[in-house]
Structures are given as structure tokens and as C-alpha cells.
Structure 1
């Protein structure tokens, strides 16, 4: 096969895998996707309060979401189009990365399928968050590193610095990527340190990240406090062994032999010696996350494109004897089949009752990485239910008030999912924006409310009664399929807060 026809074949493979990835996301989202995920409602609320930082994340994904909402609206299909495009772009970059380091058709197939069929990549790109963008950033950085290896032009270094800076403004775990790049340079390409360009790239990245650093300093290191509380709280039960096991399970169990071979190839296979920097990149990020005992397995998800690319090239060069060439067809097919069997556990592809029945037949129990009580659905799916019901039930109380009381009424809750539900769905019921003490809702404060009339979503009577002149339970919000602690949530109507809201707000902060 000549070079022109070979390149055409590889490009067709990349486009086909990318279209498959995008269409899968589109089909799921058009069919309903169950509903907005808890965090998505919070991110939408954050995008209505643009700032240089947030308690639980840097600002880039929020700025991007705001621009997208202005252009395409707030439907579930629209909001989830962005992560679908990010996953599609990641598959394309994985294919281009493989081509760049010498892979032909089979290597490109294996690398693209590795990223397209990864369960954690499918799941993380099925909802809007900074995670799908983070994966795209890591993969783009790897592609730029290959270009630098081949032709160390200054513009590649400058572009890498910009990409890493944007990545840091999206998610600070790009620091692990930066550490991996530095380790890789130190162990494999030390001559680069004799030029000014790695330092210029680092300075550019730091300069772009500075606004978030300054935001944190201004807000008493809010993000560090958030990380500390999360590690000591909801993630405290995690273990290093669990993190390692999740690398096998989360990507796709049948992909494990592929990416493990890719890592070994980067470290020991002589034809890939030039690209050993990627082996050190992955190992450095892996070591950092293992040392941090509370890391979730998904934190390493962005680091696999280089391993799949290397594996593709290794197997392409080794599976040439006729007696084993059949593996070139069978193994990728098995990866696709495994994905088809397992994808309902990471993407809401099946109607809820069908999913519950399917999970039971497969013997898979609902799970939560936050040690929460569960019902019939895993937390990832349960957190897509119950939000509109909460807004509707609060609206029933709000609309029973006189116009005078409505003008003074604050709606309060103690977690950003409930507050986000009031803010997003409340518009159709005529509700004012909510206030709360969870993460950035605490920073946004009590607004101008006086405490004369407050509707409280959640808690117990004994949590509220002593703070008001009068307080009564006026409703209970129920929801099917939601997390158990989001079902049977009490609604209170309280009047006459005994303290000015602003005077007690500093004691209400809850970062987690």
C-alpha cells in the first residue's frame, strides 16, 4: 500500500471511530439521558455568576458553558453536546498521535477504539463537567509533545504552554500532567533543559493560571479547603488498592492487556525508545495519585491515549505472522462487544426499569464512591432524578404566599444540587434564585434577604425551629429513583429569623 492510500485509510478509520463516538453520545442524549445530573445544575448556576474561580474548580469550563448556553440554549441535549464533542475530539487526537509516532491502519484502529470504548471516558463525557475537557487537554498535550520530539520548533513549545495553562484553568490535575512531562524530560530528553523553550512554556502556563491562584488567595484558599474536606470526608474510605483495581475496571476490562502492553512498550520496546517520555509521564501521574491515598480511579483517565497509541504500534509490528494475524480482527471486535455489554452501566442508554433488570441479571450492584446509601440505581444515575420535583414542590409553597410575602421570601437549601434545581427549574414556576451554604453558594451569600420569610428545603424541624419566631413543616418532596437522602425531603415555611442573615453567614460555610 502506498503512502497516499495508507494515509487515506488511516484518516477514514479515525473519522469512523469519531463518528461512532459522537453518535453514541447523541443517541443517548436525544433519548432523554434520564435528566440533568446534580453537578450539571450547579455548573449552570456557576455560569450565571462568572468569576475567576470557584470553590471546587477553576473557571474555564464555566466560561465555556456560559458561551455555549448563550449560543445554543439550556436543553439537556445542548448542554451535553459539549462533552460529546470533547470525547470525539479525544478519539481523533488519539488517532493522530498514533499516526505521528509511526502507526498504520491497525495501530490507529486499536488506539481509537481504546479511547472510544473506554467506559470511564464514555461516562465522564456523558455529562457536562470539566472532566471531558481535561481528557482532551491531556491528549492534545501528548500530541504536541510528539511534534516537539520530531521537530522541536519554538511554536510547538509556546502552543504547549498555552494548552497547559488553559488546562490548569480547567482542572488543577493538569499539575500531574506537568509533573509527568518534567519527569519525562529529566529521564529521557534532558538536552531540552539546555534550551529556553521548556521554561517559556512553563511560564506561559503559570501566567494563564495566575488568575485562579489570585482568586484563591482572595478567598482564603477556598479550593485547598475544599480538597482537604473532601479527602477527609466523602473520599476518606478509599484505598490505594481500590485505585489500582479501578484502572483495570473503569477503562474496559478487555482493554487492560492493550494499555498495559502499551506502557511496557514505551519503557522497554526499542522501536519506541524515542517516545519513552510518555511512559514516564504516565508513571509519574500514577505515582502521585497512588501516594495520595484518597484518589479516585477516574483521576488517571486522561493519561491513556499515549499507552493505547504505543500498544497499537507494538501489536501492529508483532502480529504479522499468519498464525496470529487473526487477533487483529478478533481482539478489537471483543473490545467493542465488551463495550456494548457494559455501556448501560456508564451511559443512561436503557430506560430505568430495563436498566435495573439488566443490572440484576448481570449481578452488578449499585455503587457509590462517596459511601452514600443507595437504592436501585448507582449514585451516578440516581443523581439524575428528583430535581424538577423539588422545584415544583417548593413552588407550591411559594405560590401559596401573598404577593407581599413573595417579595421578601428567600428559598434556602444546604446542598448545591437542591439549590441548583431551584435556580434552573424554578424559572418556570416563578421562583426567585435560591441561597445556600454549600461551596460557591456560600460565597454568593444571602443576597439582600432579610429573613422575614424563608422556605427551607431539607433538614429537620429541630434544625430550624429555634432560629425563627415561627416555623412549620408544609410539605415533603418525594422522587422516584433518586438518591435515598434526596427522597422525602421536608419543606419548611419559617418566618421571623432572629438574626440578620449577613451576621450569621460566616458560620454557615460548607466546602465539600
Structure 2
């Protein structure tokens, strides 16, 4: 049944499109600075091993990486085109969400600007990651959910099912905001949207689209649950402690008044009573993420929806005095500058340590060619007659991805690793009984015990004094595996 609701204002198509295009231009201009992120190196290899699932993720992001590099080549700029497009589209969707809340053209433009200058959007838009496409999917889900609540038209369940199914092929986290929204609707209504066969249809659509990956996970003993459990166990306490500070910092401290205004507007405005579940969903999602020990950014998409809702009261406040316009304008400029500083490669690479306490991902885009060159130097010290039987074994997927990408330039063989899905691509053959060149972030005697007598032969130096995870990585030469690789391999598999 369709409920009569007030119509929405006209959409500010041209200015919003211009803002989205500006974001695309900035991201494109900066996409070639620094280098690949460790996750991107992993996605490049995963894209060469397309499957319906991977140990730690569904298939969509590796597929998009494969498509982008197949068309535009595999330098960072070519790989990141899909991320740039996703970020630009997210800006448009945020403005559309503001429009659904009855915001006029000025408020829609402000919503687009707030999205465009937010640290989370710029950071995820700069590089290919599952969070990049998660953000866009969550915003589209938010748009369809708000439209469902506003119109009461159950047919929007089908659209929600479609985008949810696609989102599930990227990351399972989408179930968290959906669960929060559903719980909020049950608490404050309108519950009438749940009494519809269209809901059943939407669930069916989502299930059909997500089924291939769910089947893959089920037939591989749900490794993604193992990965998630390990992440929560290792990082859960830190994630809980830093949850509130990072909620503020990752979006931008200057946007806090807007999302508070958005929450209050949705909760208090009689004409927007139908949108109260959207306001309630955010604190419910925060409680859920904190209980699971999840990362702070899991809740940021719903926070961005609240920012969109807060743009109309902000515009109304601004136009009551010229000094207020200056204040808001200055805040947006400062937001843009600080977001760019902490999320985009605008600093010289040698100065990246300055931003690492806030955004460690900046450092993970540096040092990979140097790591590969260090491993190559150690490899070339092996006697030529031993190299045919020798193996390069990387401790994590970033190292393995870097060696796969840059190794051919140094005539290195393909690397092996037991980390995440690298463990399936495949194990070294049992005929490789020669030396093993280990790449370890930190030397671990219990780990090295699988490879006989070991001696460190090199230390990785990125040459920039950047304090990232791979700085001072040890390159260790071992006499060989203590057992046949096929026997040893299950002991080398790591899920986190």
C-alpha cells in the first residue's frame, strides 16, 4: 500500500554534478602519487584468480580491480579509476538523500559539499578497497530505505534487495546497518512497511544475488567468520576505545554540528516523523559495532546520512546572518584542507610520518618497490644451482602482492604465502626442497622452525624513514622446509 507523503523538492542536478566531477578530478590528479596500498596489491593478484569467494572477502572488489586494470592498465592510476567513480557517485547519492528529507537545492548542494570534503569519502575514494564500494552501496541502500519510509511504497523493497545482494558480494558488513534500520522500524515505526509481500520479494532478490558467494563460503567452512573472529580478538579492545574519537576524526570534526542537527531534525520534526528510524538506527548500529569489536568506520555511512539530514537546518541558520555564512564557509574549507592532508597523498612521501597517527593507511602505500629490491638482492646471493629448488615465502599478503607485482622486474620467481587466500594460489610443489627466503615483519622462532636453520640476510628500508608496517622487515634465509610442502602447508595458513 502506498502512503501519501509530501513531494520532494527539485534536485540540484547541475551543481551537485559539478561537485562530484570536482571530486573525480582531484582524486584522479592524486591517484598516481605514492604507490599501491597493500590491499590493492592483494586485489591485483586476487583479480588474476577470479572466484566466487575468497578467504577474507566476497568477489566484487577483486573483480572490479581486474576490470579496471584490464581496460586502463595496472599502474595505480589505472587501478583506481573505479574507486574515483564510486566516490563521485557517492557525492550524488548523499545529495539525493538530503532531497528525500525535504531539503531544498541549497541544502542539497551543501550535502554534496560535505560528502565531498569528508575524510572518509576522500580516503576510501583515493584507493581501491572493499570500504570504497561499501560506502557507495550503503548510501544507495540508505536512499532506497528513506524513499521506502517516505512513500510507504513496498516496491522499494525490490530495489533494496537488489542493491543489498550486490553489496553482499562485496562485504558482509551491510547486514549491520540493515539490522539497525530494521530494529529501529520495529521500535518507532512505521511498521506498516514490514507488512508487505514486497519485503519477501526483496529478500529473495538479495538472496539470489548473494547465493554464489554464500555457497562458496559454506563449502569452504566459512573462512570469513574465522577471519572476522581473529580481527575482533586482536583489535577489539582498541577498536572500542577509539570508536568515538575516530567517528569524529574520520568524517571530520567540523561536520559534527551537522550530524547532530540532522539527528535532532529527524527525531523532532513532526512532518518527518516517518524518518525517525533513520535517526535511531545510528546509535543502534554503534552499540552493535561496539559489541562486536568492529572498526569505527563501520558506522560512518549512517553518520553521513545524518549529515545529509542536517544540511537544511544548517542552511536555514546560515542565511539568518552574513557572519554565519563566513563561519560555515571557513569550516568547510578547513574540513577540505584537513581531510586532504590526512587522507590524500598531498605531502612529500618523506613527510608521511606526520599523518600516520591519524591515518596509517597513508604509510601502507610506500616502500613496496624497495621491499622487492631488497628481496631480489638476497635472492641473487643464492648459488645459481640452488635457485631452481628455492622458494620465496612472504609472511603476509601485502608482501606477497608486492613481490608478485614488482618481482618480474628483478627476475624473481612467483612468491608463495600462507596468508589469507594466497594459501590457495597454490602451495609450492614438493620438488622445491632447496633454500627458503622468508620475508617476515618480525622474526618469529616458532615460525622459522618449519624451515630448518635460518639466518637474517637483509633488512628492508623504504629509504624514506616512513614508519609503516614493513619498515625493518627481516629477510631471512633458511636451509629448506623441514617437511614436504604438502604436509607443511596447513600449518602455514594464516587467517589474520
TM-score, normalised to structure 2's length? 0.89
For residues 300-328 of structure 1, give each alpha carbon's deviation from its aligned partner in whole angstroms, at most 9, with x where no partner exists.
122234212211223344555x4x36534
Structure 1 residue 194: deviation in Å? 1.9
Q: What is the distance in 1 between the residues matched to 2:283 and 2:230?
A: 27
In structure 2, the CA distance between the partners of 1:344 and 1:485, relative to structure 1 (3 Å rule), is closer
Q: Which residue of 2 aligns with 1:367?
A: 357
Q: What is the distance in 1 between the residues matched to 2:73 and 2:491?
A: 37
Which structure 1 residue ranges, 5 or more long, are not aligned?
A: 1-5, 360-364, 369-377
Q: What is the distance in 2 between the residues matched to 1:153 and 1:221?
A: 36
In structure 2, the CA distance between the partners of 1:190 and 1:235, relative to structure 1 (3 Å rule), is closer
In structure 2, the CA distance between the partners of 1:63 and 1:249, relative to structure 1 (3 Å rule), is same
Structure 1 residue 199: deviation in Å? 2.0
- Corresponding residue SS for 1:497: coil
Q: Which residue of 2 aligns with 1:90?
A: 90
Q: Which residue of 2 aligns with 1:233?
A: 234
Which structure 2 residue ranges, 5 or more long, are not aligned?
A: 1-8
Cα RMSD of the aligned pairs, angstroms, is 2.6
Q: What is the distance in 1 between the residues matched to 2:16 and 2:84?
A: 16
Q: How many residues end up aligned between the 2 structures?
A: 484
Q: Which residue of 1 aligns with 2:336?
A: 339
Q: What is the distance in 2 between the residues matched to 1:47 and 1:299?
A: 25
Q: What is the distance in 1 between the residues matched to 2:19 and 2:39?
A: 29
For residues 83-116 of structure 1, give each alpha carbon's deviation from its aligned partner in whole angstroms, at most 9, with x where no partner exists.
2211111101111222233222221122112211
In structure 2, the CA distance between the partners of 1:74 and 1:449, relative to structure 1 (3 Å rule), is farther
Q: Which residue of 1 aligns with 2:206?
A: 205
Q: What is the distance in 1 between the residues matched to 2:291 and 2:335?
A: 31
TM-score, normalised to structure 1's length? 0.87
- Corresponding residue SS for 1:475: strand
Alignment of 1:96-495 (within 5 A): 96-151=96-151, 156-186=156-186, 187-240=188-241, 242-292=242-292, 294-317=293-316, 322=320, 324=321, 326-328=323-325, 330-354=327-351, 359=354, 366-367=356-357, 379-400=360-381, 405-453=386-434, 454-458=436-440, 460=443, 467=450, 472-480=455-463, 481-483=465-467, 486-495=470-479
Deviates more, 1:251-260 or 1:262-271: 262-271
In structure 2, the CA distance between the partners of 1:420 and 1:451, relative to structure 1 (3 Å rule), is same
Q: What is the distance in 1 between the residues matched to 2:79 and 2:317?
A: 43
Structure 1 residue 385: deviation in Å? 1.9
In structure 2, the CA distance between the partners of 1:353 and 1:482, relative to structure 1 (3 Å rule), is closer
In structure 2, the CA distance between the partners of 1:211 and 1:318, relative to structure 1 (3 Å rule), is same
Q: What is the distance in 2 between the residues matched to 1:140 and 1:464?
A: 45
Q: What is the distance in 2 between the residues matched to 1:83 and 1:407?
A: 40
Q: What is the distance in 1 between the residues matched to 2:47 and 2:291?
A: 34
In structure 2, the CA distance between the partners of 1:230 and 1:464, relative to structure 1 (3 Å rule), is closer
Q: What is the distance in 2 between the residues matched to 1:232 and 1:465?
A: 24
Q: Which residue of 2 aligns with 1:73?
A: 73
Structure 1 residue 485: deviation in Å? 5.3
In structure 2, the CA distance between the partners of 1:189 and 1:418, relative to structure 1 (3 Å rule), is same
In structure 2, the CA distance between the partners of 1:200 and 1:469, relative to structure 1 (3 Å rule), is closer
In structure 2, the CA distance between the partners of 1:334 and 1:194, relative to structure 1 (3 Å rule), is same
Q: Please tell me whether the aligned partners of residues 150 and 275 of structure 2 are also in contact (alpha carbons under 8 angstroms).
A: no
- Corresponding residue SS for 2:51: coil
- Corresponding residue SS for 1:87: helix
Deviates more, 1:207-216 or 1:426-435: 207-216
- Corresponding residue SS for 2:111: helix
1:49 matches 2:52: no
For residues 153-203 of structure 1, give each alpha carbon's deviation from its aligned partner in whole angstroms, at most 9, with x where no partner exists.
565322220100111111111001221332243232211222101121122
Structure 1 residue 499: deviation in Å? 0.9
Q: What is the distance in 1 between the residues matched to 2:222 and 2:17?
A: 44
For residues 267-322 of structure 1, give each alpha carbon's deviation from its aligned partner in whole angstroms, at most 9, with x where no partner exists.
11223223223213323322211333x232211122234212211223344555x4
- Corresponding residue SS for 1:456: strand
Structure 1 residue 437: deviation in Å? 1.7
